[in-house]
Structures are given as C-alpha cells and as structure tokens.
Amino acid sequence: MLACQSMDNKISIFATEKLRLNRKKVFKGHMVAGYACQCNFSPDNSYLISGDADGRCFIWDWKTTKVYKRFKAHDGVLYWLCLVTTRDVQSGDMRLGRKD
C-alpha cells in the first residue's frame, strides 16, 4: 500500500499492485496544504502517522481511519516523522537541518 498526502488535507491510500485508490481509507483532520509533509506507518501497520503545518503530530487508527491521538510536536511545520518504536517518535525540519 502507498499513502499519499494531498493538497485537500487528506491522506489517500493506494493499492500498490495496480495503483488503485482505496476509497474506504481516507485520513482527515490535519492541515498540510502547501507543505510536503511525509506520512508513515507503524511497524505493525495498525497506525498511520503524519505531521502538519501547525507542528502537530497526528496518529490515525488504520482500521477506523479516526484520529487516535494528536499532539504538538514542533514549533514549525512538521515535515517528517519516524516511528522508532511504538512509543517513541522522532521529528524534524529538514529545511533548517535540525532534528528535535
């Protein structure tokens, strides 16, 4: 599966075999329009995680597509995140070359 951010503040999911849009899996609630914020899956694929323009981290439940948790993680745009374990999240701002 492939997760893609869109300019309408959604994450859409595509099946990788034929690149077909999965209309049942749409993740909303964050603001990313105009920014190249990455999204990632948890190691067990039960959560989808992304940053947003306000520096918030969003974690969605894969099965329900509902926001599981959101919290302020950065002072600026949260461009990328990496799940190190199911408990730890790293984030950063690549434009400034800093990691938080």
Q: Are 47 and 40 in contact (CB under 8 A)?
A: no
Q: What is the pLDDT of residues 70-100, one digit of tens each?
A: 988 888 888 877 666 545 555 555 444 444 4
Average pLDDT, the chain: 81
Q: Which residues contact 44 (CB under 8 A, 6 or more apart)?
A: 86
Give the pLDDT score at 97. 46
Q: Give the up-direction half-sphere exposure of residue 46: CA atoms within 13 A in the CB hemisphere.
A: 3
* Confidence bin at 31 (pLDDT 50/70/90): confident
At 62, the amino acid letter reads W
Q: What is the pLDDT of residues 47-74, one digit of tens each?
A: 999 888 888 889 999 999 999 999 888 8
Rounded to two decimals, the pTM is: 0.76
